[in-house]
Structure 1
Amino acid sequence: MRLPRLRSTSKPDGAPGSRFLASVRGLGPGSVSSVLKVALDVAYVLLALITGVLLLLLIAAVFIPLDNLNVTVSGDSGGRQLPLTRMLLLFGLGAVTAYFGGFMLILRSLRRIFRTLTVGDPFHPHNVRRLRQIGLTLAVVTGGVWLAQGFVAARLAPGVMEPQGIGELLTPVFSVLIVFVLAEVFREGARLRRESELTI
């Protein structure tokens, strides 16, 4: 009795899209990380220039005359004209400068993290500190914006601009918590890498 022959069938390699995604490298030179690092470098330079210009305007606002100048504060319920006092101008420019400066600090830490990704070393020990700095800076910027908008709504433009509610803080707070969780993940990865190096 003759047994039937079994035919071996090879599985297809997959769809073209999956083959392309498999060939894309996330770490190392020429990877997606290196492209993102270049984009972060450009954004960091632009933010540094904007922050520098705002800082110069903040210094100039101490000396420029403000006679008979008004500013219009707009909100959902309409607008209101207020006299442009030096304190109001300094507060506005200072808040905007601090806002852009905070995000410049965040980009600086991100650039250093992506520099380690570009050389293929994601669990560098310094990345834990950098992620914590990003989370702390993001928390300070979020809290500063919330307090500044509440101050403007209560003191400068009551009835025109509404202060932010607690519910509007949920997304920023969630983002801050994610960054701190990522910092702990990187800390654990750095610890495991250190232990493996000691074992070898």
Structure 2
Amino acid sequence: MRLPTPPRLTTKPGGQPIPLLNDARRQFRAMGPGSVSTLLKIALDVAYVLLGLLTGLLLILLVTAIFIPIDNLNITVTSDDGGRQLPLTRMLLVFGLGAMTAYFGGFMLILRSLRRIFRTLTMGDPFHPDNVRRLRHIGLTLAVVTGGVWAAQGFVAARLAPGVMDKQGIGDLLTPIFSVLIVFVLAEVFREGARLRRESELTI
């Protein structure tokens, strides 16, 4: 008994693609309405709203921490050597809440730019001129957030909780720096794509 030969994904004699290939292309689209970019845009919108609520809550706690009394309060800080109790000073509380607010606020800025980039992808216009500026903003914000986390952890380890938290070394910055460089390279790729599109429009 001979098994039926599966259909081949080739073109018809006239050079026209077969309907099966067309259906597969219609089902999977990276850009345009109803594409994967649309789903990612919705996910980014949800994440942006949730992150905004979290950042707003941290901001309220930060303002409250400036005025509420915090006498005789301790916190337990865990490390590889075990746990250690530290007095919860106002400076430590305000610094911790301020650092967390700035951290999540920075990622809100990154998500805002990403949402606008994916909005152009859902419109089928990836090389929009504004995407170059948005990618550069993402790279700059990521660099500031990474540097801020590195400096904050060093300050906490040296001043606020000495002997509990280890300082970050220069080696811990290699991966974030590599990520920032990739974003700036992508910005240049998009800038070149936008330039080529302008030249093509002028030619036509």
CA contact (8 A) 1:80 1:157 kept: no
- Structure number with greater CO (CA < 8 Å, separation at least 6) is 1
1:82 and 2:86 aligned: yes
Match of 1:12 in 2: 8
Q: How does 1:42-57 map to 2 (within 5 A)?
A: 42-57=46-61
Partner of 2:38: 34
Task: Describe the shift of the 1:21–1:68 C-alpha distance in structure 2 as closer, same or farther (beyond 3 A).
Answer: farther
Shift of 1:163: 1.0
81, 101, 104: which one pairs with 1:97?
101
Q: Distance in 2 between matches of 1:87 and 1:141?
A: 21
Q: Deviations over 1:149-171 (max 9, x none)?
A: 11111112222211111111111
**Identical residues among aligned pairs (%):** 79
Mean Cα deviation higher: 160-169 or 123-132: 160-169
Per-residue CA deviation, residues 69-122 of structure 1 (Å, 9 max, x unaligned), is 011222222222111111111000000000000001000000000000000000
- Compute the TM-score of the two structures, normalised by the length of structure 2: 0.87
Gaps (5+ residues) in structure 2?
Answer: 1-5, 11-19
Q: 1:21 to 1:71 in 2, by over 3 A?
A: farther
Instruction: Give unpaired runs (5+ residues) of structure 1.
Output: 1-9
Q: SS state of the match for residue 62, structure 1?
A: helix
Aligned to 1:119: 123
Q: Which residue in the other structure is 2:172 paired with? A: 168
Cα pair 1:109 1:130 within 8 Å, conserved? yes
- 8 Å Cα contact 1:76/1:161 also seen in 2: no
Cα separation, 2, equivalents of 1:157 and 1:63: 23
Q: Matched residue of 1:68: which SS?
A: coil
Q: 2:114 aligns with which of 92, 110, 113?
A: 110
Instruction: Report how many residues are paired.
Output: 189
For residues 21 and 59 of structure 1, the distance between their equivalents in structure 2, rounded to whole angstroms, comes to 53
Please state how far the C-alpha of 1:182 moved relative to its aligned partner.
Answer: 0.2
Q: Could you tell me whether the CA contact under 8 Å between 1:135 and 1:179 is conserved in 2?
A: yes
1:4 corresponding residue in structure 2: none
Amino acid at match of 1:43: A
Structure 2 counterparts to residues 60-79 of structure 1, below 5 A: 60-79=64-83
Q: Distance in 2 between matches of 1:21 and 1:149?
A: 49
TM superposition score normalised by structure 1: 0.89
CA RMSD of aligned residues (A): 2.0
